[in-house]
């Protein structure tokens, strides 16, 4: 045998290790297929007689007796790793799918009840919960939830924009709005905005066609962007943004008229949409507009759903202006999120049914 340097021997070992790595990965691919079949047929992961035969066959091919114990130990460990991987794989297949709403403060959210009602009605084996996330933890939340087997999340205040920095892809609608409220968790993190579609389904439900209409949107945040984008896409004749700071709002909506809220009057507008949190529980004694400012509007929609009738909507009622709160939009955007996660399309009937339950 020729004398070899230590480096030369190590290079040969490295080459063998690379070849082994390729073969082990190929073996694990096959183990994965075995797991799929066992999951379908209900067979146990451990097949003792099969493992014993594998070990015997392997040892019979070892030419050097001194290596037999080592080779046996290596393959016994490979078999153990294969069993553990199969258990994980089968466990994930049989595990109930998990979904959640993340945000900073979520104690008053009814999203879990809405999604779980949909699961019952559609026979989907899944659960939905709320997860309050401190700002310091938002950067790692997606990877943490993926590791905990979550398949999707909704995102609410104050993370709809910030979460975009941690996504692999973002839908065209979400990119245009600059906010994501729905994330699909798989091999990649995919971002969507279902507020846009939920708002549209709500307008359809209430029989309001925004084409060629004069519309005013109160607020300039993420919800306002979704509303304004939908109104623009559906041919509204005029969209006005009403804000406490019209100069800042004009930077977000450069193509739209922005008016200071103190200077705004609704007379002549077909639709007023409140996309601010003003009037939301627990501060229910406030309204973004006074009763005098609201006079002359044709239809008022408040995206707030708690309370069911905000002070703004009470003003509308007293002025005999048709109005609606944000509950239908909340249900509709939730169903739109589930369509993304489940890869199916639900009819508007199921939105109506769930809405009627929570309306009561």
What is the CATH classification number for the domain harbouring 296?
A: 3.40.50.720
Q: Which residues are catalytic?
A: 160
* Domains identified in the chain, total number: 3
CA distance 164 to 175: 9
Let me know whether 127 and 27 are in one domain: no
Q: Which residue has the tokens 């103190």?
A: 262
Model pLDDT, residue 92: 59
pLDDT value for 82: 87
Residue 195 confidence (pLDDT):
96
1 domain residue, yes or no: no
Same domain for 42 and 31: yes
Predicted structure pTM score: 0.74
| 179 and 266 in a common domain | no
Point out the domain boundary residue: 94, 114, 140.
94
Same domain assignment for residues 292 and 351: no
Residue 202 lies inside a defined structural domain of this protein: no
Question: Are the CB atoms for 288 and 274 separated by under 8 Å?
Answer: yes
Share of the chain above pLDDT 90, in %: 77
pLDDT at residue 88 in the model: 78
Residue 300 has pLDDT above 60, yes or no: yes
Could you tell me if 50 and 116 lie in one domain? no
Q: Would you place residue 221 in the very low, low, confident or very high pLDDT band (cuts 50, 70, 90)?
A: confident
Domain enclosing residue 259, as ranges: 207-321
Indicate if 41 and 123 belong to the same structural domain: no
Mean pLDDT of 124-133: 95
Judge whether residue 255 has pLDDT over 80.
yes
Residues 242 and 308 in one domain: yes
Check pLDDT > 80 for residue 164: yes
In a domain, 181, yes or no: yes
The answer to whether residue 338 scores a pLDDT higher than 70 is: yes
343: CATH: 3.40.50.10860
The pLDDT of residue 1 is 47
164 and 122 co-located in one domain: yes
In a domain, 201, yes or no: no
Asked whether the predicted pLDDT for residue 142 surpasses 70, the reply is yes
Based on the domain organization, do 103 and 76 belong to the same domain? no
95 has pLDDT over 70: no
């Amino acid at each position: 045998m020729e004398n070899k340097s230590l480096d030369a021997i190590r290079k040969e070992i490295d080459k063998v290790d690379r070849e082994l790595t390729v073969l082990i990965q190929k073996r694990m691919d096959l183990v994965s297929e075995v797991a799929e079949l066992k999951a379908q047929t209900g067979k146990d992961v451990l097949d003792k007689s099969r493992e014993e035969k594998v070990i015997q066959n392997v040892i019979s091919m070892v030419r050097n007796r001194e290596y037999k114990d080592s080779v046996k130990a290596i393959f016994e460990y490979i078999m153990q790793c294969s069993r553990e991987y199969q258990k994980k794989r089968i466990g994930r297949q049989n595990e109930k799918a998990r979904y959640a709403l993340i945000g900073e403060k979520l104690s008053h959210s009814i999203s879990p009840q809405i999604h779980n009602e949909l699961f019952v009605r559609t026979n989907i084996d899944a659960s939905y919960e709320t997860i309050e996330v401190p700002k310091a933890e938002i950067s790692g939340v997606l990877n943490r939830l993926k590791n905990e087997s979550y398949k999707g999340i909704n995102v609410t205040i104050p993370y709809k924009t910030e979460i975009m920095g941690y996504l692999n892809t973002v839908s065209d609608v979400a990119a245009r709005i600059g906010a994501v409220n729905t994330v699909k968790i798989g091999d990649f993190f995919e971002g969507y905005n279902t507020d846009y579609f939920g708002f549209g389904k709500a307008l359809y439900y209430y029989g309001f066609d925004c084409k060629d209409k004069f519309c005013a949107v109160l607020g300039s945040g993420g919800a306002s962007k979704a509303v304004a984008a939908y109104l623009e896409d559906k041919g509204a004749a005029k969209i006005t943004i009403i804000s406490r700071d019209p100069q800042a709002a004009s930077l977000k909506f450069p193509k739209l008229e922005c008016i200071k809220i103190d200077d705004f009057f609704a007379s002549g507008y077909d639709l007023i949409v409140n996309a601010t949190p003003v009037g939301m529980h627990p501060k229910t004694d406030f309204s973004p507009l006074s009763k005098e400012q609201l006079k002359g509007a044709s239809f008022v929609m408040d995206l707030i759903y708690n309370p069911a009738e905000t002070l703004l909507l009470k003003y509308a009622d007293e002025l005999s202006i048709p109005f609606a709160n944000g509950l239908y939009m909340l249900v509709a955007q939730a169903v739109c999120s589930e369509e993304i996660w489940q890869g199916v399309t639900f009819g508007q009937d199921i939105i109506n049914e769930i809405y009627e339950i929570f309306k009561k």
